[in-house]
Amino acid sequence: MASKVLMRPNIPSMNHVAYSGSMVPRSHSSGQLCLPKKRADTTAFRSQSHVSSFITPAMSTGLAKTSSSTSSSSLAHMWREVQGCNNWEGLVEPLHPFLRQEIIRYGEFVTACYEAFDLNPKSKRYLTCKYGKKNLFREVGMGNSDYEVTKYIYATPDVNIPIQNEPSCGRWIGYVAVSSDDAVRRLGRRDIVITFRGTVTNPEWISNLMSSLTPARLDPNNPRPEVKVESGFLSLYTSNESDNKFGLGSCREQLLSEVSRLLKRYKGEELSLSLAGHSMGSSLALLLAYDIAELGLNRLDPKLDVPVTVFSFGGPRVGNSSFKERCEELGVKVLRIANVNDPITKLPGVLLNENLRVFGGTYEFPWSCSCYEHVGVEIALDFFNMQNPSCVHDLGSYISLLKCLKRDQVQKDEENLFNRARESILSRAQNINMEPLKNAASNVVNLVQSQRTEFLKDDTILGLMNSFALYILL
């Protein structure tokens, strides 16, 4: 079974209730996560460390520069671990800040797909991207991403339904982008990112419901009939506009061609292939990752494989146990970010899944080959909004929650800082044998720690605390 880590940050309740494992409310509050009260949009949560109030502006500027430089340098040195070379061992519990930062970053790349997708039937760009490749990131508020879009990707659902008068053509599904030279220095490698949006149109929803397993057969030299994937996802990945002489090639053909071109162009550099998707998009990302590795496109020479990593947000199961095992053999790394209350992550294979495939870890059932299995390591989030149940699958909710995790860490860091300050103050007081000062210092630190929320609202008291702390420590 896939590895799983449950993340339930302790965040004060704001009229929202968290649930665990089902849509039934928990009767206790330990470990519960509460979304912000206003959740109408996907604006990032903003958190500020109370400790920063003890730092002067000059000190703050210097620390910010040092922190930024250190962060970039450290990420550049450990990017392979963040991309999953060791299956994220030691990075998910607790969630490492660099990994959290990268998960959020790739999630925002996927968010750009939704924001740029034109769903206005009266628009000339209906079912395509509203912006040109050069302007995409700027138009969606990601002008400082330091990535350049190189290709738009279209998928053609091989499904015709009379529900909506939609043209039978390829729908814009995502894009391919490459990091700039500046980003290369910060990230430690040239990153090729491929992102996919989730289900939006009716034919795509129908494709999602085609939950029968079918052999992938993506490698013509070795079809591997035992490796099976969900037929609807495979159809969306491989279907083309065959009835149109000037129609688009399949999503697969577009992607493999562009990936091959970019790998050849940047051969000789440190490279990474980062695939990210939400919902149905995460399924396409995983199919592409498997396809690239199965065909060996990421093998630039006998001793060098370009890492292939999938960042899946609210993704469903894609294939059977043989598909999972083959992905692992090929070195495809998958990090699944899933809300335990998100029903999409339980599909397909609600009954026939990894939990029933093996009985007692020893005996295989006759239907084991027909069981769906998740691939990779899971970071399980836990949130639910009674007023807006659909948020359980909303990508904005996923990203906002991941950003909210920082608050938990800030509180822990803050407590550690107070503890270190207490130890330092007491140590100095003992060294100079000033018992009254020792007691006073201890009382002040205890008071600040227990009532820091109220104290931090009063700049005058903060100034006094600054002066007192500096006097003692210096």
Q: What are phi and psi of 147, to 5 degrees?
A: -125, 150
* CB contact set of 326 (below 8 Å; sequence gap of 6+): 224, 227, 290, 294
Closest CA to 290 of 205, 369, 343, 233: 233
Closest CA to 213 of 3, 369, 447: 369
* CB contact set of 435 (below 8 Å; sequence gap of 6+): 429
Apex 139 CA angle, 133 and 140, nearest 5: 105
Catalytic residue among 272, 279, 322, 400: 279
Closest CA to 277 of 312, 232, 239: 312
Catalytic residue among 393, 394, 397, 400: 393
Q: Does residue 342 have an active-site annotation?
A: yes
CA–CA gap between residue 187 and residue 192 (Å, rounded): 12
CA–CA gap between residue 447 and residue 192 (Å, rounded): 51
CA–CA gap between residue 299 and residue 379 (Å, rounded): 29
* CB contact set of 444 (below 8 Å; sequence gap of 6+): 465, 468
CA–CA gap between residue 323 and residue 286 (Å, rounded): 10
* CB contact set of 286 (below 8 Å; sequence gap of 6+): 275, 277, 310, 312, 315, 318, 327, 332, 334, 375
Tokens of 451: 């009532």
Catalytic residue among 158, 291, 342, 382: 342
Q: Note whether 83 and 333 are within 8 A (CB).
A: yes
What length does the chain have? 474
Closest CA to 367 of 356, 380, 382, 355: 356
Where in the sequence numbering do the catalytic residues fall?
A: 279, 342, 393
